Amino acid sequence: MPLVKFDLVKGRTPEEIQQLLDISHKVFVDALEIPQGDRYQVVTQHEPFELIMEDTDLGFSRTKDRILITIVSRPRTQKQKVTLYKNLQNKLKEKLNINPEDIMFSFIINDDEDWSFGFGEAQFLTGKL
Q: Give the active site residues.
A: 2
pLDDT of residue 65 exceeding 90:
yes
The pTM for the full model equals 0.95
pLDDT of residue 31 exceeding 90:
yes
CATH classification at residue 80: 3.30.429.10
pLDDT of residue 104 exceeding 90:
yes
* Number of domains making up the chain: 1
- Residue 28, domain extent: 2-126
Task: Identify the band that residue 1 occupies on the pLDDT scale cut at 50, 70 and 90.
Answer: confident
Q: What is the DSSP annotation of the chain?
A: --EEEEEEES---HHHHHHHHHHHHHHHHHHHT--TT--EEEEEEE-GGG-----TTSS----TT-EEEEEEES---HHHHHHHHHHHHHHHHHHH---GGGEEEEEEE--GGG---BTTB-HHHHT--
Q: What percent of the chain is modeled with pLDDT above 70? A: 100
Mean pLDDT (whole number) for 21-35: 97
Q: What is the pLDDT of residues 41-52, one digit of tens each?
A: 999 999 999 999
